[in-house]
Chains A and B, each alone.
Chain A
Amino acid sequence: MKKVTSPINKNQQVITIRGLRKSFDEFDILRGVDLDLFQGENLVVLGRSGTGKSVLIKIISGLLKPDTGQVNVLGCDMNLITPKELNALRLKIGFSFQNSALYDSMTIRENLEFPLARNRRDLSQKEMDRTIEMVLEAVGLSQSINQMPAELSGGQRKRIGIARTLILRPEIMLYDEPTAGLDPITSIEINKLINEVQERFNTSSIIITHDLTCARDTGDRIVMLLDGQFQRQGTFAEVFDTDDERVKAFYNYNFTD
């Protein structure tokens, strides 16, 4: 079970979602999702592949538009937000992609400098270098600064992906399948890193995963997405203390097979 790393402010919601619906062609992916993310909380969204977990965080980050429903992120209504306001909001949201999404043609330094140079024009080159060193040290990869993404392992790429999102000091972190495709040892290291990020940078996070070890080790609260809606909610033990066969099957597949 996850150790408490930072205090959660239950009175302050950083994300509020009510009645969110999203469909693609004739497929209803999200069918009335309600969600609150509190300040300082690590919230894990569990669910099988194709249930709309990634769609949910893409709506939160403004990459997709909701069909209906209210999505409020740090006080901004995503249905009414202007492009300028969305850009300002995105500086407060870090998005760690499933495949890291590092820019192939750039070195690690350039990958990290890219968002900084465009959004923090007030910083000098020296300050930028210091910030890059700080985030690389936070993810434990200071020695990789001049390497190309293709030269890194899957776990290292994930770490650099997280470092790139941290460089703008976001208030909210969105992790899309942070342990997908990694060996168990590297997965545990990434889980540890997610908790360290929460503690050190005081972020509120949504972690999308179908890896129960990741959910157990990182989640302060867990919600389970089934049939386009959140069916279970609570701590890891509470979520799986049920007779619902679908939930039990999910647990058994991860831990007993």
Chain B
Amino acid sequence: MDPNTSKVKEEKPRQHVLSKRLDRVFGELFNIYAFIVRFFKEAFLPPYEGGEIIKQCYEIGVKSLPLVSLTGFIIGIVFTNQSRVSLAEFGGTSWLPALISVAIVRALAPLVTAIIAAGKVGSQIGAELGSMKVTEQIDAMEVSATNPFRFLVVTRILATTFMIPALMMYMVFIALMGGYVSVHQHEQTSFTTYFIQVFNAVTFLDVFSSLIKSFLFGFTIGVVGCYKGYHSSKGTQGVGKAANTSVVMAMFLIFIEELLSLQIITALR
């Protein structure tokens, strides 16, 4: 056999697969872009689904409180205990409240809240909309002259966008309380002294940038969960895939956004 011929035969399908994959990636990116544009168009047009937004805020925000509380409190205690070891070597354990507060407000609370929400809320949205799609509930809404995008997608994206920052602020408080329990136990620091040091260490930019980040994380979780669920393929496998990819993709995007926002905030400082 001519070696050149066999080489051409081997290369041809590989090119084909690559171009197919690129097509799929760019096609998906374009679809997500179109989905976001549609969200902004629909979000500002009446009729507004106020009742459904409140219901979703309850589902996403209030029902995540136990998980956020537990995680936040444990993170506060563990982070304080681990930091004490290093600070004790320099005799700097009195800096613990300042260290904890900066770490929690700037990085830990926004990131951990977003990851918890991506796992709990993102998968829930992906699976819920996916199963609605599979069982034709979305079509049923459409034929009864109700805009399913506005009722299902806009409400959920708005709810995640506003609830994740609220959960983040709640986690800051809980994690600081966890830190206080540890500091009080080991250093006998009073509640007032602890919080005076906390508030002295944290700046307006720290809180503001974390809030902005959380809005972005919440928006990302909502968009990804809704997009994957709303466009899930038919069958129960499609629902599972929608839930799974919602979590994976949202977490991936959250880490990229965290990295980018860190660069921007560092430059602003």
Contact = CB atoms under 8 A, between A and B. Distances in A.
Interface of A: 58, 61-63, 87-88, 90-91, 93, 95, 97-99, 101-104, 114-115, 118-119, 164-165, 168
Given A101-B135, A104-B137, A63 B142 contact: yes
Given A95-B140, A97-B140, A101-B140, A114 B146 contact: yes
A104 B127 CA distance: 13
A76 to B, nearest CB: 14
Contact of B144 (A98, A104, A168): A168
Contacts of A99: 135-136
A135 to B, nearest CB: 13
Contacts of A165: 144
B139 interface: yes
A103 B131 CA distance: 11
B267 interface: no
B143 A164 contact: no
B50 to A, nearest CB: 13
B143 to A, nearest CB: 4
A146 B183 CA distance: 53
A118 B135 CA distance: 22
Contacts of A95: 139-140, 143
Contacts of A103: 132, 137, 140-141
Contacts of A101: 135-137, 139-140
B80 to A, nearest CB: 41
Contacts of A97: 136, 139-140
B145 interface: yes
The 6 closest A-B pairs by CB, nearest first: A101-B140, A115-B144, A101-B136, A95-B143, A90-B145, A87-B145
Nearest to B128: A105
Given A88-B145, A93-B143, A168-B145, 15 more contacts: A63-B143, A87-B145, A90-B142, A90-B145, A95-B143, A97-B140, A99-B135, A102-B140, A103-B140, A104-B131, A104-B132, A114-B141, A115-B144, A119-B145, A164-B140
Nearest to B51: A117
B53 to A, nearest CB: 15
B30 to A, nearest CB: 20
A58 B144 CA distance: 13
23 contacts: A58-B139, A61-B143, A62-B143, A87-B145, A88-B145, A90-B144, A95-B139, A95-B140, A95-B143, A97-B136, A97-B139, A98-B136, A101-B135, A103-B137, A103-B140, A103-B141, A114-B141, A115-B144, A118-B145, A119-B146, A164-B144, A168-B144, A168-B145
A21 B131 CA distance: 30
Contact of A115 (B47, B139, B146): B146
A81 B47 CA distance: 21
Nearest to A61: B143
B39 to A, nearest CB: 17
Contacts of A119: 144-146
A247 B141 CA distance: 36
A98 B234 CA distance: 15
Nearest to B131: A104
A91 B145 CA distance: 6
Nearest to B151: A118
Interface in B93-150: 131-132, 135-137, 139-146
A7 to B, nearest CB: 27
Which one of B132, B135, B145 has the highest number of Cβ atoms from chain A below 10 Å of its Cβ?
B145
Contacts of A118: 47, 144-146
A164 B145 CA distance: 13
A61 B145 CA distance: 10
Contacts of B137: 101-104
Interface in B156-179: none
B129 to A, nearest CB: 12
A91, A97, A102 — which one has the most chain B CB atoms within 10 A of its CB? Answer: A97
Nearest to A95: B143
Contacts of B132: 103-104
Q: Among B137, B140, B146, which residue has the most Cβ atoms of chain A within 10 A?
A: B140
Contacts of A164: 140, 144
B231 to A, nearest CB: 15
